Amino acid sequence: MKLSLPDLRTMKSQRRPIVMITAYDHPTGRIVDAAGVDLVLVGDSAANVVLGHDSTVPATMDEMTILTRAVSRGVEHALVIGDLPFMSYQVSDEEAVRSAGRLVKEGGADAVKLEGAGPSLDRIRAIVASGIPVMGHLGLTPQTATIKGGHRAQGRQAEGARALFADALAVEAAGCFGVVLEAVPPQVAEAISRRLDIVTIGIGSGAGTDGQVLVLHDMLGIRSSDGPQPRFVKHYADMAGVVREAALAYAEDVRARRFPGPEHIYRAAAPKPGGPA
């Protein structure tokens, strides 16, 4: 049974933490779904994490649609949220609805996510009016990091915190079913979470939100660059080490002619009696 939006509200009211994680392909979609996570985000972090870019800005609708389709085919229980990439919703309400529609119709997403309040509020209203659930994203919004002065925590001063609070109320009023709060001071994130009826999902925002999200590759220790990692990342596995060791062992086996062994080959069929010699 797919998790529903009312289920999320129930989890919030019962103070049961909501687990969200990113995935970008079919096998990891299957794995995290089998692990029982509640929400799977096909984030535009794909641009950094699996496509080799140094920001989320270059992610395209075609790329996000393909990745979302692969993930959603593997997820049975969790709600799949497709991330709207930069410039797929900023230009007009019509384009926003069309882009969201692609992630749902072609990508199989259950909902979409977009960043910001202000001009994004009309987009949220338009997409929700078309029948597609929307998750908001406030605080550090990577698509507009440049204009906000880089990847920095938001709402640290009283004025910024007040603005963040107002934005959170505004995305709720615009119709979002939930909102990601990224790199927001924990007290602010917790106060917003208590004030909103919709669910809040934190990343780098402390333990007071209704749920948490992490980027899968970050928690697995798979890095696509050697730069510093945000301090909110917790490593649950060293998959880079596992893959490196496996590749090394394979290379050694091939070079020493230990692989393939007799158990890895298809034997020629025994000749049929009376057949050609």
Q: Tell me if residue 244 falls in helix, strand or coil.
A: helix
Q: How far apart are CA 93 and CA 126, in angstroms?
A: 6
Secondary structure (DSSP) of 180-198: EEES--HHHHHHHHHH-SS
Q: How far apart are CA 117 and CA 66, in angstroms?
A: 27
| Tokens 């919030």, located at residue | 12
In the bound state, the residue with its beta carbon closest to ligand KIV is: 43
Q: Which of 29, 43, 139, 202 binds ligand KIV (CB under 6 A)?
A: 43
Closest approach of ligand KIV to the CB of residue 255, in Å: 39
The mark string for 210-229 relative to ligand KIV (x by CB under 6 A, - otherwise) is ---x-x--------------
Closest approach of ligand KIV to the CB of residue 268, in Å: 50
Q: Toward ligand KIV, which CB reaches closer, 86 or 126?
A: 86
DSSP classification of residue 16: P
Q: How far apart are CA 203 and CA 210, in angstroms?
A: 11
Residues of span 11-30 touching ligand KIV by CB under 6 A = 22
Q: Under the criterion CB under 6 A, does residue 44 sit at the interface with ligand KIV?
A: yes
Closest approach of ligand KIV to the CB of residue 160, in Å: 19
Q: Under the criterion CB under 6 A, does residue 189 sit at the interface with ligand KIV?
A: no
Q: Under the criterion CB under 6 A, does residue 203 sit at the interface with ligand KIV?
A: yes
Write down the catalytic residue from 172, 182, 252, 263: 182
Q: How far apart are CA 5 and CA 25, in angstroms?
A: 24
Catalytic annotation on 182?
yes
Among 3-11, 27-35, 38-46, 68-76, which window interacts with ligand KIV (CB under 6 A)?
38-46
Among 42-50, 87-95, 145-153, 253-261, which window interacts with ligand KIV (CB under 6 A)?
42-50
Q: How far apart are CA 214 and CA 220, in angstroms?
A: 10
Q: How far apart are CA 205 and CA 208, in angstroms?
A: 8
Secondary structure (DSSP) of 59-72: --HHHHHHHHHHHH
Residue 21 and residue 40 in contact, taking contact as beta carbons nearer than 8 Å:
yes
Q: How far apart are CA 185 and CA 157, in angstroms?
A: 10
Closest approach of ligand KIV to the CB of residue 43, in Å: 2
Closest approach of ligand KIV to the CB of residue 266, in Å: 43
Backbone angles phi, psi at 201, to 5 degrees: -120, 120
Q: Under the criterion CB under 6 A, does residue 50 sit at the interface with ligand KIV?
A: no
Q: Toward ligand KIV, which CB reaches closer, 51 or 271?
A: 51
The mark string for 115-154 relative to ligand KIV (x by CB under 6 A, - otherwise) is ----------------------x-----------------
Any idea which residues carry the catalytic annotation? 182
